[in-house]
């Protein structure tokens, strides 16, 4: 074994465990490589330390050796930097807890590679895994997607192919559609295909819930007219169109609402918009004004506060919320 190999294996890993050259010599002499090291180092202690220091400095010039040093300390100290391959293995292991979440955003081939990596047992059991719980985003259980449907749709996206399918909309109506997929949107536990319906004059794309797609058949390569403009980034397009809030085609409104009790006490931490303003009416009441999309997602958000929220403006939304509350009371015969 060469001297630099002995040094590398003897050095402690991590800056917090750094040691001096003299301490390194003592460790080498007490290790299982002491006999080999004796033939590589001078017998006199001072000369051995000097040779170790020269060897360490030479190893630091080689980025592959992963040696760290603090030259500013009174006694120069050295340590072994973490092995990136080992670190990657630990990272993969910790990602295994998020396996189902991560896989939704990967192509079929990459999903297989990811599964293969996670199937390999690692000797190191990360304590972090025992301290992390990924909770569902709501009361609903995550949908179970059909494997064949998912693979075909992901393949269509990856290969830029059109595909036809039976799609059931939110009203429960099923029809056969032909789609030109632009990409995927992952929202909490659900996956949506962002696609343009072929043969329609409507510009742009809309979202199709993966769970509502059945009987997929791959078709021809997408027509240029049905594809996303290559000058536009897919993520940017989704953000500009409000895809995450299902707000495409909806108008922007200036919402004013009052939140009561503990509702919205930390709304500054999760603002509704960049122009949001909060006015403290009293300790238990705050008035919030923000420019938002008048979308289905917004109304779900407002309903979620129940009696702790009052819409003040615009009047049309206020009236709509009042009618919904009247209907809710009617269900309970109050």
pLDDT tens digits, residue range 220-238? Answer: 999 988 899 889 999 999 9
Q: What is the mean pLDDT of the chain?
A: 85
Find all residues with CB under 8 Å of 196, minimum gap 6, and list them.
Answer: 179, 180, 182, 204, 205, 206, 226
Higher pLDDT, 95 or 332: 332
Residue with tokens 């809030």: 245
Let me know if domain 3-81 sits in CATH 1.20.1070: no
Note the pLDDT of residue 225: 87
Q: Where are the domains of the chain?
A: 3-81, 86-131, 147-244, 252-331
What is the average pLDDT across 292-302? 92
Please give the order of strands across the beta sheet that includes 285-293: 277-282, 285-293, 252-260, 309-313
Record the tokens describing residue 333, joined without a space: 């015969």
Q: Residue 112: what pLDDT?
A: 72
pLDDT at 124: 47
71 or 291, higher pLDDT: 291
Predicted pLDDT of residue 123: 46
Share of the chain above pLDDT 90, in %: 42
The predicted pLDDT at position 322 comes to 94
What percent of the chain has a predicted confidence (pLDDT) above 70? 84
Return contacts of 299-306, CB within 8 angstroms, 24+ apart: 302/257, 305/259, 305/263, 305/264
Q: Which is higher by pLDDT, 121 or 328?
A: 328
Mean pLDDT of 262-287: 93
Backbone φ, ψ for residue 64 (5° rounding): -75, -15
Q: Could you report the per-residue pLDDT of 111-161, keeping only the tens digit for each?
A: 677 667 666 654 444 565 667 677 777 788 888 888 899 889 998 998 999
Tell me what the mean pLDDT of segment 300-327 comes to: 94
Helical (H) or strand (E) element with 86:
helix 84-95
Look at residues 67, 61, 58, 63 and name the one whose alpha carbon lies nearest to residue 8: 67
Query: Residue 249's pLDDT band (boundaries 50, 70, 90)?
Result: confident
How do residues 155-190 score in pLDDT, each as one tens digit? 899 899 999 999 999 899 999 999 999 999 988 888
The two three-digit tokens of residue 136, written as one number: 């569902």
- Top pLDDT among 167 and 29 is at 167
> Looking at 197-201, 205-209, 279-283, 299-303, which range is the least confident one?
197-201
- Angle in degrees, CA 134, 139, 140, rounded to 5: 90
| pLDDT at residue 203 is higher than 90 | no
Task: Please tell me the predicted confidence (pLDDT) of residue 205.
Answer: 92
pLDDT at 334: 62
The three-state secondary structure class of 226 is helix
């Amino acid at each position: 074994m060469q001297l630099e190999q002995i040094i590398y294996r003897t050095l402690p890993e991590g800056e917090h465990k750094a040691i001096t050259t003299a301490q390194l010599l003592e460790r080498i002499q007490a290790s299982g490589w002491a006999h080999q090291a004796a033939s590589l180092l001078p017998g006199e202690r001072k000369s051995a330390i000097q040779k170790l220091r020269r060897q360490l400095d030479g190893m630091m010039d080689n980025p592959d050796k992963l040696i760290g040093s603090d030259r500013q300390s009174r006694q120069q100290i050295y340590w072994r930097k973490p092995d990136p391959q080992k670190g990657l293995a630990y990272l993969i292991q910790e990602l295994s807890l998020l396996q189902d979440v991560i896989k939704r955003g990967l192509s079929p081939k990459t999903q297989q590679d990811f599964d293969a990596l996670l199937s390999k047992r690692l000797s190191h059991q990360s304590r972090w895994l025992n301290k992390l719980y990924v909770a569902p985003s709501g009361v609903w259980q995550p949908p179970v997607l059909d494997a064949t449907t998912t693979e075909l749709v992901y393949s269509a996206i990856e290969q830029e192919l059109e595909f036809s399918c039976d799609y059931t909309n939110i009203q429960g109506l099923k029809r056969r559609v032909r789609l030109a997929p632009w990409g995927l949107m992952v929202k909490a536990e659900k996956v949506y295909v962002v696609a343009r319906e072929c043969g329609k004059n409507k510009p742009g794309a809309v979202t199709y819930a993966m769970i509502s797609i059945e009987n997929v058949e791959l078709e021809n390569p997408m027509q240029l007219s049905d594809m996303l403009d290559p000058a536009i980034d897919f993520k940017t397009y989704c953000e500009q169109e409000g895809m995450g809030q299902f707000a495409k085609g909806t108008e922007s409104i200036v919402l004013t609402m009052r939140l009561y009790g503990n509702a919205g006490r930390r709304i500054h931490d999760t603002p509704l918009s960049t122009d949001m303003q909060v006015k403290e009416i009293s300790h238990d009441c705050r008035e919030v004004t923000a420019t938002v999309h008048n979308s289905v997602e917004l109304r779900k958000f407002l309903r979620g506060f129940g009696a702790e929220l009052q819409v003040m403006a615009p009047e049309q939304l206020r009236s709509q919320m009042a009618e919904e509350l009247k209907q809710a009371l009617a269900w309970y015969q109050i």
